[in-house]
Amino acid sequence: MISMETKEAELFIGGQWKASASGETFEVIDPATGEVTAKVAKANEQDVEEAVQIGLKTFHENRWLSMPALERGRILHKIGELIRKNNFELAKIMTRENGMPQNMALFVEIPMAADCFDFFASLVVQPKGEMVPFSLTGAPPNHMAWTMKEPIGIAGLITPWNFPLIMPAWKLAPALAAGCPAILKPAPETPLTALKLAELCKEAGVPDGMLHVLTGTDEAGKAIVRHPDIPKIAFTGETSTGRKVLESAAANIKRVSLELGGKSPNIIFEDADIEHAAKSALFGIFYNSGQVCQAGSRILVHESIYESFTEQLVTKAKKLKVGPGSISRNDLGPVISKEQHEKILQYIETGKKEGARLLAGGRVPDGAREGYFIEPTVFADVDQSMCIAREEIFGPVVSVIPFKDDDEAVQIANDTIYGLAAAVWTRDIKRGLRMAQRVKSGTLWINTYQVLSPTAPFGGYKQSGLGREMGIHALDSYLETKTVICDLNDRPMTLF
């Protein structure tokens, strides 16, 4: 059983716990202490092949789809119930692996993951075709035509470390609802949460062979992407890595969905509720220590309220508490790793050299002699040409940028290779809706931030990705459409 106390863990293949084919393991580090907390099996290409063969056998034997649709729906609902039932254990595991404050895990990540399985449970009966009119000049009229929806096959699911439960849920729930066996490859920083999810799926009644969890590093991920018998890849991670996934998957013309990086603008107009906007902007950038793809890392503020808004933001940022996620009073936990810690601190130094005004944070908290902690950092007077305004930092660092009117706000907001999310703060709903039309992003919030629902599609424009997670759009990405045409005439149509 996977728990907070787990020190060693194996792969989950065909419903069984197994050592890796090589016998190799890798270490899981607690980012709050920098200490090794577990050793986990390291999957390789041989393990991927075993999972694929079991998945193919399960798929061809129809073990999952032969169940009544409502029964499959009940199993997905049961996964959601078990996630809620095991919420405290899951929160402790996540905090141990990626440092997320436990109260954040309990309030946001775990309920959203459970809701995701509930939503896709309701869509199990959704994959259905439609009758279509048959029309062909010169052909006899008596034909019937219809479409059928069929699962695409094995789905390779590759997920990041920042949300170790939500990200697998966003992919696994629609894959199972569509009827696809899944091979889940979680990030090496957070394998235990994914293995716990596999345990809950088995308990809920998911047939052996419908879910495999292959923990490890790049070797397993690359083998999944290039395997010819895995026709669907769903990947969440950095844009640079997504580009490599797309290139590798092209060799076998795989269907690929990518949820990638962002540099999301949070636009504050002069008529906004400044107090509310400042509080929400704080959550928009510092939630999960800024390690959120849709984080509002660029706050665009109308010049008439620029100083007052920035002052409020800085005052609130300085009150946030940084420390181990296991302590409930802490608002920000550590960032994920030593490498990420050093990268973020380097970005902060770059911002100062570029001439941005550092108003809060920018350093390791006093007394943080171990672990990977960084204070909430606010830069003001940032120019859009600066590195900190253009590159995804993926940490608790925000750039506050002034603008003079709607057109300039749109120009700055869209001046990026990304297009994942954005927000607009205004009391003028017409202005908000006009901005929704003009800002290029997959999600746009009006007078809120970071609010998502499993019923609503999520994904990005431009280099923020391809396809959508959640919503019925996610289900479609795991389905093929087949057209069937039947000739009802006594004599077949022929030209010979």
- From the candidates 259, 375, 392, 469, which is the catalytic residue? 259
H-type helices in 337-466, by residue range? 338-354, 387-390, 406-414, 429-438
Would you place residue 136 in the very low, low, confident or very high pLDDT band (cuts 50, 70, 90)? Answer: confident
Q: What percent of the chain has pLDDT over 70?
A: 100
- Residue 127 inside a domain? The answer is yes
- Say yes or no: 204 and 278 in one domain: no
- Residue 492 inside a domain? The answer is no
- Say yes or no: 252 and 296 in one domain: no
- Say yes or no: 369 and 413 in one domain: yes
- Say yes or no: 365 and 423 in one domain: yes
- What are the residues facing 454 on neighbouring strands? none
- Say yes or no: 255 and 328 in one domain: no
pLDDT at 401 over 90: yes
Q: What is the pLDDT of residues 67-90, one digit of tens each?
A: 999 999 999 999 999 999 999 999
- Say yes or no: 83 and 106 in one domain: yes
Nearest Cα to Cα of residue 434 among 458, 454, 462, 410: 410
CA distance linking residue 299 with residue 277, whole number of Å: 10
What is the model's pLDDT at position 232?
98
Greater model confidence, 431 or 495:
431
- Say yes or no: 47 and 157 in one domain: yes
pLDDT at 255 over 80: yes
Provide the number of structural domains found in the chain. 2
Q: What percent of the chain has pLDDT over 90?
A: 93
What is the model's pLDDT at position 494?
73
374 burial via Cβ count (<10 Å: 0-12, 13-18, 19+): buried
Q: What is the pLDDT of residues 286-305, one digit of tens each?
A: 999 999 999 999 999 999 99
Residue 244, C-beta contacts closer than 8 angstroms, at least 6 positions apart? none
Cα R_g (the chain), whole angstroms: 24
- The CATH number of residue 473's host domain is 3.40.605.10
Q: What is the pLDDT of residues 352-376, one digit of tens each?
A: 999 999 999 999 998 877 999 999 9
Global confidence as pTM: 0.96
Residue 5: what residue type? E
CA distance linking residue 186 with residue 324, whole number of Å: 23
- Say yes or no: 169 and 293 in one domain: no
Average pLDDT, integer, range 30-55: 97
Average pLDDT, integer, range 44-48: 98
What is the model's pLDDT at position 94?
97
What is the model's pLDDT at position 129?
86
Backbone angles phi, psi at 159, to 5 degrees: -120, 155
State the residue for tokens 């706050």.
299
- Residue 495 inside a domain? The answer is no
Residue 305, C-beta contacts closer than 8 angstroms, at least 6 positions apart? 268, 270, 272, 274
Would you place residue 127 in the very low, low, confident or very high pLDDT band (cuts 50, 70, 90)? Answer: confident
- Residue 234 inside a domain? The answer is yes
The helix (H) or strand (E) run that includes residue 218 is helix 218-226
**3-state DSSP assignment of residue 123:** coil
Would you place residue 128 in the very low, low, confident or very high pLDDT band (cuts 50, 70, 90)? Answer: confident
pLDDT at 195 over 90: yes
- The CATH number of residue 377's host domain is 3.40.309.10
- Residue 489 inside a domain? The answer is no
CA distance linking residue 235 with residue 242, whole number of Å: 7
What value does the mean pLDDT of the chain take?
Answer: 96
- Say yes or no: 127 and 274 in one domain: no
pLDDT at 495 over 90: no
Q: Cβ(332)–Cβ(289) under 8 Å?
A: yes
Q: Which domain holds residue 407?
A: 265-446
Q: Cβ(109)–Cβ(94) under 8 Å?
A: yes
Greater model confidence, 260 or 366:
260
What is the model's pLDDT at position 139?
79
Active site residue 259: yes
- Say yes or no: 242 and 123 in one domain: yes
What is the model's pLDDT at position 142?
87
CA distance linking residue 264 with residue 279, whole number of Å: 17
- Say yes or no: 248 and 366 in one domain: no
- Say yes or no: 317 and 414 in one domain: yes
The helix (H) or strand (E) run that includes residue 245 is helix 239-249
Q: What is the pLDDT of residues 87-109, one digit of tens each?
A: 999 999 999 999 999 999 999 99
